[in-house]
Structure 1
Amino acid sequence: MTEAPFLPRERLFKQQNYFQNLTKHTYLKGRYDVITSVAIPLALAASSMFMIVRPWSLQHVSRDWEKGVNFSVLTSVSNWAWK
């Protein structure tokens, strides 16, 4: 008894032909490869940059607070950032 293939042979040949004829890089050929190879690393880089920059800006806010600078706009932004 032989087991049926997972995909019909014609569909398998069609997919192989599609992927072999693409001019993109090999890591961007699949349907969801752009998400895993491009979007996730960009999101990680953006979130890490945000986490690095935010404490730096809050440190400068505390210095200016002692000088008596008006922070009505900055406090609303910082309250939003801490939520």
Structure 2
Amino acid sequence: MYKKKYKCVIMTELEIAVAPMHRLCKKAGADRVSEAAAKELAEALEEIGVKIAKEALDFAMHAGRKTIKSEDIEIAAKKVMGR
């Protein structure tokens, strides 16, 4: 007999809390922020953060270090954010 294989989607927990996302949106001038919007912002910021961390790790390794320093993050953020 033939079995169907179902694609399983695994949701991972966010590393960034949602409550600060509400505060960031309000700081930007929003009166109200939906839970879905706060979660979406958390996901976007987490994705950007991981990209910056990966770049910073590359800079640290290139310098012969295992430790990421603030200078690595600063340079990586400029590269990723295009500043």
Structures share a fold, TM > 0.5?
no
Larger Rg: 1
Q: Which has the higher helix share?
A: 1
TM-score, with structure 1 as normaliser: 0.37
Query: Which structure is higher in RCO with an 8 Å CA cutoff and minimum separation 6?
Result: 2
TM-score, with structure 2 as normaliser: 0.37
